[in-house]
Structures are given as structure tokens and as C-alpha cells.
Amino acid sequence: MDFNQMGKLMQLASKIDIDKITRLSEKVDLGELIGLVSAMDEATLLKMTKMLKTSTNGQPKEPPAPNGDFYDLSATLTDGQRQLQAQTRQFMEEKVRPVINDYWQRDETPRELLLDGFREMNAISHIFNEDGTRKPDAAVTEGILTVEMARVDVSTATFFGVHAGLALWSVVMGGSEAQKKALLPGMLSMETIGAFGLTEPGVGSGVAGGLTTTCRRDGDEWVLNGQKKWIGNATFADFVVIWAREEESGHVHGFIVRGDNPGYSVEKIMGKIALRAVENGLITLADCRVPEADRLQEVKGWRTVADVLRATRAGVAWQGVGCAMGAYERSLTYAQTRKQFGRPIAGFQLIQDKLVHMLANVTAMYAMCLRLSRMQDAGIMLDEHASLAKVYTAARCRDTVALARDLHGGNGILLEHEVARYFCDTEAIYSYEGTNEINTLVVGRAITGISAFV
Ligand code: FAD
């Protein structure tokens, strides 16, 4: 051994972890091991090293599959819910995922594709009975459906939620028995699609006291005037539930308004940076005439609107869970395959920190929403419960998709890598069904006993 070799040996020896060597020597005969290795030719030695790097037991080492349900919350669902979950996942992964970026880019809803899928799985029949009453575990089932849709595409969950949540609840809570009989069969089978028109260009958060769309009785008809902004599905819906204030009494009424009602027009809102695969409409009601028979007969003023919003707010909280779950799973896959400095980026501590942070968000959000929906099914969910989940999941979702975008580097702003879409769509989740500020004020009022609304 020359001086250089001696130096190298000393350097290597200084890196040896004696504890590890001791533990190793308890398992194998180190002398024999060194003897075998030193007898190997160079080619065999190279092969051995490669094998040791890629396998633990001679089998190729597969990276663990991404799983956003880390605490196996699905195990607490019923068999029926798990079956629906699997069916929805398959539909979303196989049919929607391959095409959704194109639709998103074109500002278009793939509605025939979605309707075919939802009709085939009879989606709404798992939530509502034929007479409009709810299945005993409807809220959890709806949550599971929503999470599976949003995990691939939030626009799909919104398309579904506007019809099967906002519009359907309005008819169920505000319609007479005759109106329910006429509207529900088509709505449940999704042959008839509904929309929900509450927000106005000048009034969003303050709509409870500030509704400016008016209605006036004129014989057997009503005359509606005003505008409705952001109305999801409005460009193709068979009807929109329009909320308006009566000129004389100030009472809030709900109306079933169809595209052919005189004085009704809708234009598609363009240029959105979020939920581009949802078609949002700006509706104009210019002396729009609606028969008295299409006024929702059981509406009890603003109280009915508030009941509808409370019932559907949990659904939006679930959208945040699905969106964050999708972003986390895509990020883990990306981190396992994307290499920098000669190794998968998943092997860097700072990347693992991001992934674990995202997973913790998803796990907390999922558990929270599951409990919320169980409270809703038990009839004990209050406004503040739904609002807290909306506040928390929207904020955690925003945090998660930002990390996902960041983890993808430059690819994170390319639509083809999907997390860019999740990143943008989250901005809508943050603002609709009550902005995070408004939902915070609802919870703040409940826990302090003092209203901070102005
Ligand atoms: P604003 O009310 O003008 O709020 C602006 C900012 O001020 C927000 O940050 C808000 O939190 C804050 N703010 C307001 N008041 C207070 C306060 N008192 N204290 C502190 N901060 C406050 N509506 C429908 O009726 N039907 C639909 O189908 C529908 N779909 C939608 C889809 C999308 C993609 C979007 C973006 C919106 C949709 N909306 C729909 C409307 C949505 O519900 C409103 O955007 C939302 O209620 C917020 O109203 P705004 O946009 O007018 O914001």
C-alpha cells in the first residue's frame, strides 16, 4: 500500500459509523463478507452495487403509491359509499381527467360527458329520495362524491353542486308539493338541469339585506327586474331559481325562470382564471314575466335562502378536500419521478417537508368534513359548524395547492401538469358560498356572542 492509498483508507475509515458496523456484525460474518466482495471481479461488483441501490430483496423497489386518505377514513364509510366512491373515482380518472384541460382552456363544461357519467351511476339517487327527502347518510355520501370529483377537477364538482345542491335544495325547501312533483323527477335523473341565481353585480357578500333584483305582481304573473352575476350552469340550464325582493312588501321570493320567459337573457362570463370548465352566466331580467305558478310557493323569505346556503356550504368545504387531495397526490408522483442532482426530488428533505405538510392539511380537512357531514346527517349541524369547515378547508386548500405548484418548479404553471389548474380553481373555492371573511364572521359571532358584521 502506497502513501496515497493509506491516506484514502484513513479518510474512508473516519466516515465509518462504529455502531452500525457493530449491529451489522451481529447479523453477518463481516470477515466472510469482505472476503467474498474482494474476490468479485469488477463487472459483478458493479451489478451488485446497482442491485443494492434498487432493491431490498432482489425485487425491483416500487415507490409507494400516492394515497391522500392516509388515515384510511374510507374504512369508516358504508360498503355502499365505498362502492360509489370507487365508481366515481374510476369515472373521473378514466373519462374526465384525459379531457378536462382542453375544456378548461376553452371555457367550456363537458356536460354531455358528465351527464352520461352521473346518469349511469344514478348519482343523485344516492342522496335524495324520489319525494325530495334525503337518505339518512346523504351528507356523507354527497361529500364522498364531491371529494372524488374535485380530486380530479373542481369544475365538475361545482357543475354537480350547483344543480344537485343549490338548485335542488331550493326546489325541495321552497316548492309546493305540486311543484316538487313536476320538477323533481327530471332533476333527480339529471334530465333537467337547474341553476341558482342569487348574487348580483353590485351585491355579493351583503346579499342578505341588500338584494336589489325586484319582483312585482301583475295579475297572474310577476314582473322581475335586475341582474344576476356568476350564475353557474346558467348558459345551458333548463331553469334558474331567481331570488328577488318584492317591490311593495320587501319580501324575498324565489322563481323558476326559464330561457324562454320574456325579458330573460344570459351571457357567458369570459376571462375567468378559475373554474374555467364551469359556465358562469350574467343574467339580465328586463321586465321579465314569470307566471305565479312558477313562484316557489313555500319560500319563507330570506330564511329559505339561508337554509339552502347552510345545507350546501358543507359541499363546498368538501371541494377543498378533494382539490387538495388531488394536488398532493399529483405532487407525490411528480416528486418520485422528477430527478435533480441525480436523484428523485422526493429524496430531498425540503421536498419531503412540503409533501408532509400537504398530507397533514388533507388529512385534517378530510376528518373535519367527515365529522361535519355526520353532524348534518344527524340534524345537529349549525351555520357556524359549516362555516368553520368552509373557512378552514379553503385556507388549507390554498396552502396545499401553492406548495404543489411550487414543488413542480416551472412545470407547476403548465396546464398539462394539472396542479396549475388546481391552483387557479382554489381561488373560486375561496370566494364562493360565502367568502372566507364572511364565514369567519359567522363563526366569530357564534363563539363570542358578539356580531362583528357591519
Ligand atoms: P364582495 O362581497 O364584493 O367581497 C369583496 C371582498 O370584501 C371579499 O374579500 C369579502 O370577503 C370582503 N367583505 C365583504 N363584506 C365584508 C365584511 N362585512 N367584513 C369583512 N370583509 C368583507 N352566486 C350565485 O348566486 N350562484 C352561483 O351559481 C354562483 N357561482 C359562483 C361561481 C364562481 C366561480 C364565483 C367566483 C362566484 C359564484 N357566485 C355565485 C357568487 C359568489 O357567491 C360571490 O362571489 C361571493 O358571495 C362573494 O361576493 P362578491 O364576489 O360580490 O364579493
411 CB near ligand 1 (under 6 Å): no
Beta strand segments in 188-263, E: 194-197, 214-218, 221-232, 239-246, 252-257
Model confidence at 356: pLDDT above 80? yes
Which of 334, 332, 333 shows the shortest CA–CA distance to 352? 332
Nearest CA to ligand 1 atom 32: 230
Please check whether residues 90 and 163 belong to one and the same domain. Answer: yes
In a domain, 13, yes or no: no
Predicted confidence band of residue 52 (pLDDT cuts 50, 70, 90)? low
Which of 294, 325, 353 terminates a domain? The answer is: 294
Q: What is the CATH number of the domain that holds 278?
A: 2.40.110.10
**Same structural domain, 309 and 230:** no
- Residue 10 within any structural domain of the chain: no
Residue 357 CB contacts under 8 Å (≥ 6 apart), including other chains: 399, 403
Task: Let me know if residue 102 belongs to a domain.
Answer: yes
Residue at 14 is within a domain? no
Residue 122 belongs to domain with CATH number:
1.10.540.10
Is residue 243 within 6 Å of ligand 1 at its C-beta? no
pLDDT in the model for residue 454:
82
d(CA 31, CA 85): 56
pLDDT above 70 as % of the chain: 89
Distance 78 CA to ligand 1 centre (A): 36
Q: Are residues 283 and 321 in the same domain?
A: no
Instruction: Kindly tell me if the per-residue pLDDT of 153 is higher than 80.
Output: yes
Q: Is 275 in the pocket of ligand 1 (CB under 6 A)?
A: yes
| Least confident among 30-34, 179-183, 351-355, 448-452 | 30-34
At residue 269, the pLDDT reads 98
Of 23-27, 316-320, 378-382, 391-395, give the lowest mean pLDDT range: 23-27
Q: Does 172 sit in the ligand 1 pocket, CB within 6 Å? A: no
Stretch 289-315: mean pLDDT: 96
Q: Residue of the nearest CA to atom 14 in ligand 1?
A: 205
Cα dihedral 234/238/243/246 (nearest 10): 130
Point out the ligand 1 atom lying closest to the alpha carbon of residue 438: 11
pLDDT above 90 for 406: yes
What pLDDT does 10 receive? 59
Please give the single-letter amino acid code of residue 83: Q
pLDDT (tens digit per residue) in 188-223? 999 999 999 999 999 999 999 999 999 999 999 999
| Cα–Cα distance list, 197 to 24, 135, 167, 337 (Å) | 70, 26, 9, 45
Eight-state DSSP code of residue 60: B
- Residue 440 CB–ligand 1 contact under 6 Å: no
Q: Are residues 90 and 210 in the same domain?
A: no
Helix axes 30-39, 18-27, angle to 10 degrees: 90
Shared domain check, 335 and 440: yes
Question: What ligand 1 atom has the least distance to the C-alpha of 232?
Answer: 28
Q: How confident is the model at residue 307 (pLDDT cuts 50, 70, 90)?
A: very high
> Is 180 found in the same domain as 96?
yes
Looking at the CA of residue 453, tell me the nearest atom of ligand 1: 18
* pLDDT value at residue 39: 76
Average of pLDDT values for 376-405? 97
Residue nearest to atom 43 of ligand 1 (CA): 432
Please give the average per-residue pLDDT across 166-174, as a whole number. Answer: 98
**65 burial via Cβ count (<10 Å: 0-12, 13-18, 19+):** exposed
Select from 261, 269, 294, 73 the least CA-distant residue to 183: 294
Asked if residue 8 belongs to a domain, the reply is no
Same domain, 350 and 433: yes
Last residue of a domain, one of 294, 326, 359: 294
Contact between 184 and 194 under an 8 Å Cβ cutoff? The reply is: no
Same domain, 246 and 367: no
What are 162's three cell numbers? 350547483
Whether 454 is in the pocket of ligand 1, judged by its Cβ within 6 Å, is yes
**For ligand 1, is residue 205 a contact (CB within 6 Å)?**
yes
Q: How crowded is residue 76: how many other Cβ atoms within 10 Å of its Cβ?
A: 13
Q: DSSP state, 201? A: S
Residue 65 belongs to a domain: no
- What are the helix (H) ranges across 71-206? 79-91, 97-105, 111-120, 138-152, 154-161, 168-174, 177-189
283 with 317, same domain: the answer is: no
Co-location of 311 and 287 in the same domain: no
**CB contact at 8 A, 60 and 54:** yes
Ligand 1 within 6 A of 430 CB? no
> Which residue is associated with the grid cell 360509489?
84
Give the N- to C-terminal CA distance of the chain in Å, as an integer. Answer: 85
Mean pLDDT of the chain: 93
Q: Which domain holds residue 112?
A: 73-193
Q: What is residue 115's three-state secondary structure?
A: helix
Of 169, 193, 217, the residue that ends a domain is 193
The reply to whether 48 falls in a domain is: no
- Provide the grid cell at 283: 343574467
Is 426 close to ligand 1, i.e. is its CB under 6 Å away?
no
47 band by pLDDT with thresholds 50, 70 and 90: low
pLDDT for res 249: 96
pLDDT of 41 > 60? The answer is yes
Tell me: do 116 and 189 sit in the same domain: yes
- Could you give the number of structural domains in the chain? 3
| Ligand 1 atom at minimum distance from 434 CA | 47
Q: Is 232 in the pocket of ligand 1 (CB under 6 A)?
A: yes
- Residue closest via CA to ligand 1's atom 26 equals 231
Same domain as 375, residue 287: no
d(CA 418, CA 181): 42
Question: CB of 70 closer than 6 A to ligand 1?
Answer: no
Contacts of 271 (CB under 8 A, 6+ apart): none
Are β-strands 343-344 and 339-340 bridged in parallel, bridged antiparallel, or unpaired? antiparallel
For the stretch 240-273, pLDDT in tens is: 999 999 999 999 999 999 999 999 999 999 999 9
Is it the case that residue 45 has pLDDT exceeding 90? no
Closest ligand 1 atom number to CA of residue 228: 25
Question: What pLDDT does 29 receive?
Answer: 73
Give the pLDDT confidence of 71-111 residue by residue, as tens digits.
999 999 999 999 999 999 999 999 999 999 999 999 999 99
Q: Is 438 a pocket residue for ligand 1 (Cβ < 6 Å)?
A: yes
Q: Which of 39-48, 383-392, 444-453 is least confident?
A: 39-48
Instruction: List the CATH number of the domain containing 396.
Output: 1.20.140.10
What interhelical angle do 383-407 and 436-448 show, nearest 10? Answer: 140
Q: Is residue 28 part of a domain?
A: no
Average pLDDT over residues 122-128: 97
The pLDDT value recorded for residue 9 is 56
